[in-house]
Amino acid sequence: NAGVTQTPKFQVLKTGQSMTLQCAQDMNHEYMSWYRQDPGMGLRLIHYSVGAGITDQGEVPNGYNVSRSTTEDFPLRLLSAAPSQTSVYFCASSKGRLDEQFFGPGTRLTVL
């Protein structure tokens, strides 16, 4: 099993550009989520999904969109990048929402 994979590892954007961060898992997990990690603030939940076709907002959803068309994939879209979105983004999955969380290696995003 590859576990949770994320691409790209690094990305630099200019303000106003859009992009999609990819996340995939091969463990047949129903629950997937996106977090951002900023110095001194811990990890904060952006969006989550409890299964294919079902998504919902976390605590910091503004500026991000998600969709879940398959069990395996959960992409995160930045609609119009802002410097405040400079962060490290982690995707996580678990069998159910309350179960042990498994994290991907992260995407380091810089918005200039």
Partner 1 sequence: KQEVTQIPAALSVPEGENLVLNCSFTDSAIYNLQWFRQDPGKGLTSLLLIQSSQREQTSGRLNASLDKSSGRSTLYIAASQPGDSATYLCAVRGEGGFQKLVFGTGTRLLVSP
What are the residues facing 90 on neighbouring strands? 35
Per-residue mark of binding to partner 1, 29-58 (x: CB under 8 A): -----------xxxx-x------------x
Among 13, 21, 36, 106, binds partner 1 (CB under 8 A): 106
Closest separation between CB of residue 105 and partner 1, Å? 4
Print burial letters for 44-74: b (CB count within 10 Å at least 16), e (below 16): eebbbbeebeebeebebbeebebbbeebbeb
Query: Which stretch, 11-19, 21-29, 76-84, 97-105, contacts partner 1 (CB under 8 A)?
Result: 97-105
Which CB, 14 or 42, lies closer to partner 1? Answer: 42
Residue appearing with tokens 């490290």: 88
What is the rounded (10 degree) CA torsion for 20, 54, 24, 14? Answer: 10
DSSP letter for 84, please: G
Per-residue mark of binding to partner 1, 57-76 (x: CB under 8 A): -xx-----------------
Closest separation between CB of residue 21 and partner 1, Å? 13
